[in-house]
């Protein structure tokens, strides 16, 4: 059954209700290992499914363009206060619709069209919105891109410094989508200070780890912190921009009226709930368990001869280069998905294959840790991954279906928030 229940939907639109039920069952039965995904709590689901979706609230608390904000104002202020307390920041804006619009607001606040802006190259682990060519951020600004070192798979800070000195970017982004290692915020801050650039820490992937004390914080180093709320932070799909008091007005003006109209109040409420949850001891334990699980899984994969970019992980994410296994990332990801292990194919640094058919897969432990799995299960997961990748090379589909059954059997002992099988 879906929790909260979807009785009315089932009556008025059985077709859609059935699709949702089937998606819930799919999320229940699979090892969801896409590192940007998670399971939100029932409380977050309830807040995001509430009547707050009915309300328009353009502007900010106390300065709205519509009447009837008696309750929306305190809801948004609660989310803001919780963000400030949790991350220890001077300012928070909880209105960005998602991570990409949040980053766009940063450009709007601190750069002019044509200005040099700097970020990690997408195929090295950066994000589209850090100035990649197909993104508006790479078209309307002049992107300067840094890489990771070929030998270590880690950010090349000497290159970052050299490029920054030469190109004088207005904004420097650190962080990304496929970085298995700790981000050195103090080193980036020193470079940004030297060239008078705004340093943006994009912590979309690791916000929950930072909140839970399992990754160093960019606070005190970055001028602006951009994050999604739906990855390790385990909230609804949304985003936040946090900053020092100095940049508060510029950030707020860029989000509204610069880029967006009315905030999604139901999302704001869900963010407030998630931030409340993220301040608890059990969330701290969760964040540390995510990292412990990823490290245990990395060790088990290395033992089985997998080639991990940078040789392991410090966080929630593992990037496997499958070249040595004789299979591309895409067929491997498809085989794993059929076997009940959901990952995504991904470029690896200096990939010799095309982005739509790259050499790697990216996987992580945030969602399976929410289900309650620990280090104890990681060797089994590595064994399944190994078995499935070998079976995919031989196109042995029977193995995939057998593993899918074994995964389902394991997960039946670990309830998921939001859905439970009929008793
Ligand atoms: C996920 C992510 C984003 C974008 O978030 P969306 O909500 O998908 O727009 C931005 N930056 C980084 C580093 C991300 O990982």
**pLDDT tens per residue across all 423 residues of the chain:** 899 999 999 999 999 999 999 999 999 999 999 999 999 999 999 999 999 999 999 999 999 999 999 999 999 999 999 999 999 999 999 999 999 999 999 999 999 999 999 999 999 999 999 999 999 999 999 999 999 999 999 999 999 999 999 999 999 999 999 999 999 999 999 999 999 999 999 999 999 999 999 999 999 999 999 999 999 999 999 999 999 999 999 999 999 999 999 999 999 999 999 999 999 999 999 999 999 999 999 999 999 999 999 999 999 999 999 999 999 999 999 999 999 999 999 999 999 998 889 999 999 999 999 999 999 999 999 999 999 999 999 999 999 999 999 999 999 999 999 999 987
Distance CA 319, CA 101 (A): 26
Indicate the top mutation candidate among 97, 204, 271 to test ligand 1's pocket, ranked by most ligand atoms within 8 A of CB.
Answer: 204
**98 CB under 6 A from ligand 1?**
yes
| In the chain, where the domains are located | 47-278, 289-411
Indicate the top mutation candidate among 228, 260, 346 to test ligand 1's pocket, ranked by most ligand atoms within 8 A of CB.
Answer: 228
What is the atom index within ligand 1 of the atom nearest the CA of 205? 15
Distance CA 231, CA 316 (A): 11
Other C-beta atoms closer than 10 Å to the C-beta of 159 total 14
**CATH match of 289-411 with 3.90.1150.10:** yes
Distance CA 142, CA 371 (A): 43
**204 CB under 6 A from ligand 1?**
yes
| 47-278: CATH topology | 3.40.640
Task: Judge contact between 204 and 215, C-beta under 8 A.
Answer: no
Other C-beta atoms closer than 10 Å to the C-beta of 111 total 20
**34 CB under 6 A from ligand 1?**
no
Distance CA 78, CA 52 (A): 15
| Dihedral in degrees, nearest 10, Cα atoms 204, 209, 215, 218 | 40
Show the tokens assigned to 113.
Answer: 């069209």
Strand partners, 389: none
Distance CA 31, CA 336 (A): 10
Q: Is the pTM above the cut of 0.85?
A: yes
Q: How many residues belong to the chain? A: 423
């Amino acid at each position: 059954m879906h929790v909260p229940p979807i009785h009315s939907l089932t009556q008025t639109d059985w077709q859609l209700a059935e699709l949702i039920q089937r998606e819930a069952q799919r999320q229940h039965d699979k090892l969801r290992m896409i590192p940007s995904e998670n399971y939100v709590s029932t409380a977050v689901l309830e807040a995001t499914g509430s009547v707050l979706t009915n309300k328009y609230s353009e502007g900010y608390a106390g300065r709205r363009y519509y009447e009837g904000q008696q309750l929306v104002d305190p809801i948004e202020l609660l989310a803001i206060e919780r963000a400030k307390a949790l991350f220890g920041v001077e300012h928070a804006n909880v209105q960005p619709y998602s991570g990409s619009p949040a980053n766009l607001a940063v450009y709007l606040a601190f750069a002019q069209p044509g200005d040099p802006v700097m970020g990690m190259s997408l195929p090295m682990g950066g994000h589209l919105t850090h100035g990649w060519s197909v993104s508006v951020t790479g078209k309307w600004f002049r992107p300067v891109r840094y890489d990771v070192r070929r030998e270590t798979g880690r950010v090349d800070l000497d290159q970052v410094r050299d490029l920054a000195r030469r190109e004088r970017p207005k904004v420097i982004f650190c962080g990304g989508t496929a970085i298995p290692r700790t981000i050195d915020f103090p080193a980036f801050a020193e470079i940004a200070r030297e060239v008078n650039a705004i340093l943006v820490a994009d912590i979309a992937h690791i916000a929950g780890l930072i909140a839970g004390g399992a990754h160093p914080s960019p606070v005190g180093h970055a001028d602006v912190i951009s994050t999604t709320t739906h990855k390790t932070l385990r909230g609804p799909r949304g985003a936040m921009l946090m900053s020092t008091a100095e940049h508060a007005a510029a950030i707020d003006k860029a989000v509204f009226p610069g880029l967006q109209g009315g905030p999604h109040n139901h999302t704001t409420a869900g963010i407030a709930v998630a931030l409340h949850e993220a301040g608890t001891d059990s969330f701290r334990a969760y964040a540390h368990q995510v990292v412990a699980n990823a490290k245990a899984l990395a060790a088990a994969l290395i033992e089985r001869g997998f080639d991990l970019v940078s040789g392991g992980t410090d966080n929630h994410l593992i990037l496997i280069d499958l070249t040595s296994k004789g299979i591309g990332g895409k067929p491997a990801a498809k085989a794993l998905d059929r076997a009940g292990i959901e990952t995504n194919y991904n470029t690896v640094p200096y990939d010799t294959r095309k982005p739509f058919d790259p050499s790697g897969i990216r996987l992580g432990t945030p969602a399976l840790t929410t289900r309650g799995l620990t280090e104890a299960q990681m060797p089994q997961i590595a064994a399944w991954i190994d078995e499935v990748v070998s079976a995919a090379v031989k196109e042995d589909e029977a193995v995939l279906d057998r593993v899918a059954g074994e995964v389902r059997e394991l997960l039946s002992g670990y309830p998921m928030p939001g859905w439970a099988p009929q008793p």
